[in-house]
A and B are shown apart, each in its own frame.
Chain A
Amino acid sequence: MLAVALRRLLWIPPVLLVTSVAVFVLPRLLGGEVTRSVVRARSASSTPDPATEERLERELGLDRPVATQYLDWLVGAVRGDLGTSFTTRSPVGPEILAAAGVSLVLAALALTIALAVGVPLGALAAGRPDGTADRATRWGGAVALAVPEFVLGPVLVLVVAVGAGWLPALGWGSPQEAVLPVLTLAVWPAALVARLVRAETAEVLGHPSVRTAQAKGLSPRRTLLVHVVPRALTSVVAGAGPFLGGTLGGAVVVEVVFAVPGLGRSLAEAVGDRDLPVIQAGLVLVVAVALLAALVTELAQMAADPRLRP
C-alpha cells in the first residue's frame, strides 16, 4: 500500500503541471478582453482606449509570447513567488494564502461539527434499527442531503438573523459572525457522516463475531469502541472524496452568501475581474487539495477493503 501511495503521490506534480498549463493558457486565448477588464476593475467608467490597453499589456507582461509568460510564472511559482494581482497589485501568494486560511478555518469548523453531530446520530440510529431515532435520522438526513448551501444559507439568514435577530446576517471576523456560515456548511457533511456511520454500525453489530463477543459478555461500550468506531471512521475517510469535494464546492457558495473573504469568494471575484494571477494560483491550489483528497480516499478504501489492493 505504501508503494501505491508513493506512486500516486508522484503522479500529483505532473497533473498539477498540466492543470497549471491549462489554467494559464485558456484565459489568455481571450486576448484584449483581459486588459480591458483590468482597466475597468481599476477605474470603473473608463472608456476603451487601445493605447492605454497596449501600455497596460506591457505593464502586466501580457505582450510577451504565452510560452515565455508561462515559464516565467513557473520559475517564480517554484521559488514561491506567484506573481502580482492585476487589480490589487499586491503579491498573489500572501493574498491567496490568507483567503485559503479563512476557507480552511470555515471547512475545518464545519467538518468538526459534522463529525461531532453525525457520528453519534448515526450510531444512535443503528442501535435500534427502525426505531424513532433511526427513522428521524433517516428522514432528516434525506432532507439535509437535499438542501444545498445556497438554499440553507438564505433561509438561515431569514430565520435566525432577520426573524429572530440573534446573529449577524453577513460578515466574517467575530465568532458570532462565524456561526451561520459554519452551520450552513456543516449540515450536508453531517448528514453524510450520519448515514455512513449508521450503515457501518448496523453491519458491524450484525456481524457474527461481534454477536458472539457480545454474547460472551462484551460490554456495549467496548463493542462501540473496539468494533464500531474504527470501522465507522474508516468508512467516513473512505467517503472523503465526495465529502471534501462537496464541502469545497459548498464553501464557495457559503463564502459568497455570507461575504466570507475565503478562497471561493476570491476566485469568484478574480474571475469577474479577469485577474489571471489570482485565478491561476487559486485553481492550482484547489486542484492540489482535490488530488490529495482523492489519494486519501483511495488509500482508506484499500485499508477498508483488502480486495482493492493491487
Chain B
Amino acid sequence: MSYVLRSLVVAVSLLLLAGCSTSATDATDATDAPDEQGIRVALQFPPRAAYAFDADDGALLTKLGVAEPLVGLDPQGNPVPGLATSWAREGDGRTWRFALRDGVVFHDGARLDSAAVVTALNWVLSRPSPPRSIADLGMRVAADGPGAVRVSTDAPDPVLPLRLSSGTTSVLSPAAYAAGAQPSPQDTGTGPLRMTEIRGTQGATLRRHDAYWGPPAASSQVTVDYVTEPQTRELALRSGDVGFTEGLPETSRASLQGDPDVRFSEYPSARTVLLQLNGSAAPFDDVRVRRAVTAALDRNVLADQVLGGSAAPAADLFGPAVPYGATTAPPAADVPAARALLAEAGYGPQNALRVRLWTFPNRPELPVLASAIAAQLQPAGIAVDITLGDYAAQEPELLAGRFDMFINSRSYLSDFPDPAGVLDSDYTCDGSYNIDRYCSSAFDASVAGLGAVEDPVQRAEVFRAAAATLTADAVNVPLVHPQNTAAERGVTGFTPDPLDLRPVLPTLAPAPVE
C-alpha cells in the first residue's frame, strides 16, 4: 500500500511542480519590454455600458482619444475648436451655428459632414435617458449646408458650446448608426487613436489614426487594460506590465513618490466629500448647530492624517480644480466656539445632542471619515451613531428629509466644465437632489440668473459668490477634495487634468531608452 501511496504523492508533487514551472516561464514573458512604439496602460474605470453615449462611457471615449465632440477644452475648461472650428449665437439667442472642420476623416475612411453630426446627435438625443449635458433642453439639431450645423434649444442657453464639449456628444462615423443598434466605437471615431479591438470590460487596443486632423498620437499603439482593483494597478505598474496607471492606493503614495523609476503625479479633482446636514428638521434646522459642527471639525486633520494626504482639505464646495474654487486651507477646529454655539442653541450637558450619521461603503474613504468625524464631534458634545448601508436604500430617505447627517461624495461638474447644473439640483428650493434641504430665494435667483450670463469671468464670479453663500449659511460641511493620482514608468507625456474631461492617452509615449 505504501508503494501506491508514495507514487501518488510523487505524481501530485510532479503535477504541482509542472504548474509552478510553466507559471515561471509565463512570468518572464510578461515582463518583456513592450514593443518599441507601443505602450500598455491600466485604467481604473471600465466601460459600464459597452461604450454607450447615454452613460459615463462617452467621457471614457474622450479620455482614450478615440472619439471627439464638436468642441474641445483648454486646461482651464474653456471651449476651444474641436470637430467644429467656430460657433456663434444667432437671432434670439436660442440657436447656435457651428462651422465644421474641413478634412476630418473617420477611422473607417468616411468624411465628416453636417449629416454625420446630425445623425450622431439625434441618436443620442433620442435615448430614453439622454446624457445630462444635453437632456431636458428641447435640443434640436439641423444641417446648414454640408459644412455647418444649427443647434437650438427651447430657452436661450449661454453654455451650449460647453455642453457640446461633453464626450457623450461625440460624433461617430455614419456607419456606426446604420445598423440601428447601439453604435460601436470600433474603427468609427475621429480621434488621434483608433479603437481596433474591444475586449469587453477587460480592455481595448488602440492604434494611431494616421489621417488625424490635429497633432498625431505619440504612440503607434496603446493597449488598454481596465483594472478595477487599485492594488492590482499598482502591482502591474511596479512589475512593468503597464507603463501608465491612475487611481493608486492611498497607502502606496510614499513608496511610489520615492521610486526613481516612477513619475508620480498628484492633482486635485473636481469632487467634494461633503458632510450633508438635514436643514429641514431639528437639530440642523438651526444654523447655530450647523456652524457648531463646522467649527468642531478639523478638516486639515481629516485630509492629512486620517486620509494620509490622499485628499486635500476643503474650504468650500469647489476646490483648487477650478478657477473659482477656494485655494486657502480651511480653519482649524475651534471646540470652545462649537460648544458656545451649541449652548446658544440650547444643547449642553443637560440636553446632550445625539445624531445619526449615514454613509455608504462603495468609496472606502467614506466609512473611515465617518468614524473620524464621530471622534472629532465628541469633544464638542455631539454624540454620533454611525450607520453604513446601501446608497440605493438611503437615497429616498435622504431626499425625503428623514436623516440627520450624511457623508456624500459628489462631483460638481457633470460631463462638462460648468457647475450650474449641480448648484441648481443640489441647492435650490426645488432641486431634485437637495439633500441638505436648503432653500433661499436669493440663492435661487442668482442660480436662475446664470441662464443669461455668457461671459466665463462673470459666471465664475457667480459660482464663487454661490459657494461663499453656502459656506456662510453652513448648509453643509465640505470636508475634503480627493486627490487624483497617476503614475508613469517607462512612459512620458502625461498631463494632469483636474476636470477629468480631456483626452489623456494620445500624448503618452514610450520614454526614450537611455
**A/B: CB atoms within 8 Å of each other:** yes
Which chain B residues border A55 with CB–CB below 8 Å?
128-129
Pick from A32, A33, A46, A87: contact of B49, CB below 8 A.
Answer: A87
Q: Counting CB contacts under 8 A, is B378 at the interface?
A: no
Contact of B12 with A43 in the complex, beta carbons under 8 Å = no
Closest CB in chain B relative to A21 CB, distance in Å? 24
Which chain A residues border B24 with CB–CB below 8 Å?
176
B1-24 at interface with A (beta carbon < 8 Å) = 1-5, 8-9, 11-12, 15, 19-20, 22-24
Closest CB in chain B relative to A180 CB, distance in Å? 11
Chain B minimum-CB-distance residue to A170:
B232
B415-448 at interface with A (beta carbon < 8 Å) = 425-426, 431-433
Chain A minimum-CB-distance residue to B16:
A113
Closest CB in chain B relative to A158 CB, distance in Å? 12
* With A89-B52, A175-B22 already in contact, 4 other A-B pairs whose C-beta atoms are closer than 8 Å: A90-B50, A116-B15, A220-B3, A261-B202
Q: Compute the total of residue contacts between A and B using a CB distance below 8 Å.
A: 124
**How does the 8 Å CB contact mask read for A73-117 relative to B, with 1 for contact and 0 for none?**
000000000000001111000000000000000000000000011
Contact of B19 with A87 in the complex, beta carbons under 8 Å = no
Closest CB in chain B relative to A177 CB, distance in Å? 9
Contact of B432 with A179 in the complex, beta carbons under 8 Å = no
Q: What 8 pairs across the A-B complex have the smallest Cβ distances? A: A220-B1, A176-B23, A47-B433, A55-B128, A42-B55, A59-B128, A170-B232, A120-B8
Which chain B residues border A116 with CB–CB below 8 Å?
8, 11-12, 15
Q: Counting CB contacts under 8 A, is B395 at the interface?
A: yes
Pick from A36, A44, A169, A221: contact of B232, CB below 8 A.
Answer: A169
Q: Counting CB contacts under 8 A, is A195 at the interface?
A: no
A253-288 at interface with B (beta carbon < 8 Å) = 259, 261, 274
Pick from B129, B228, B239: contact of A56, CB below 8 A.
Answer: B129
- Majority secondary structure of chain A interface residues (helix, strand, loop or mixed): helix
Known: A88-B50, A174-B26, A175-B22. A52 touches B228 (CB 8 A): no
Contact of A174 with B392 in the complex, beta carbons under 8 Å = no
Chain A minimum-CB-distance residue to B20:
A179
Contact of B128 with A88 in the complex, beta carbons under 8 Å = no
Closest CB in chain A relative to B103 CB, distance in Å? 33
Contact of A42 with B5 in the complex, beta carbons under 8 Å = no
Contact of A179 with B48 in the complex, beta carbons under 8 Å = no
Q: Counting CB contacts under 8 A, is B340 at the interface?
A: no
Closest CB in chain A relative to B248 CB, distance in Å? 15
Closest CB in chain B relative to A290 CB, distance in Å? 26
Q: Which B residues contact A (CB, under 8 angstroms)?
A: 1-5, 8-9, 11-12, 15, 19-20, 22-24, 26-27, 30, 48-50, 52, 54-56, 128-129, 131-132, 135-136, 182, 201-202, 227-229, 231-232, 235, 239, 391-393, 395-396, 399, 410-411, 414, 425-426, 431-433
Contact of A36 with B395 in the complex, beta carbons under 8 Å = yes
Which chain A residues border B135 with CB–CB below 8 Å?
52
List 8 interface pairs A-B (beta carbons < 8 Å), by A numbering: A42-B54, A49-B432, A59-B128, A59-B129, A89-B49, A161-B235, A171-B232, A176-B27
Known: A88-B50, A116-B12, A170-B232. A48 touches B433 (CB 8 A): yes
Contact of A224 with B4 in the complex, beta carbons under 8 Å = yes
A47 to B412, CA, bound (A): 12
Contact of B132 with A170 in the complex, beta carbons under 8 Å = no
Closest CB in chain A relative to B19 CB, distance in Å? 7
Pick from B4, B5, B131, B392: contact of A43, CB below 8 A.
Answer: B131
Chain A minimum-CB-distance residue to B391:
A40
Contact of A48 with B128 in the complex, beta carbons under 8 Å = no
A41 to B50, CA, bound (A): 13
Which chain B residues border A220 with CB–CB below 8 Å?
1-4
A11-47 at interface with B (beta carbon < 8 Å) = 32-33, 36-37, 39-47
Pick from B27, B136, B232, B411: contact of A259, CB below 8 A.
Answer: B232
Pick from B1, B19, B227, B391: contact of A221, CB below 8 A.
Answer: B1
Contact of A43 with B132 in the complex, beta carbons under 8 Å = yes
Q: Counting CB contacts under 8 A, is A123 at the interface?
A: yes
Closest CB in chain B relative to A121 CB, distance in Å? 9
Contact of B19 with A58 in the complex, beta carbons under 8 Å = no
**How does the 8 Å CB contact mask read for A220-234 relative to B, with 1 for contact and 0 for none?**
110111000000000
A51 to B136, CA, bound (A): 10
Q: Counting CB contacts under 8 A, is A148 at the interface?
A: no
A268 to B111, CA, bound (A): 44
Which chain B residues border A52 with CB–CB below 8 Å?
128-129, 135
Closest CB in chain B relative to A153 CB, distance in Å? 13
Pick from B3, B131, B392, B425: contact of A40, CB below 8 A.
Answer: B392
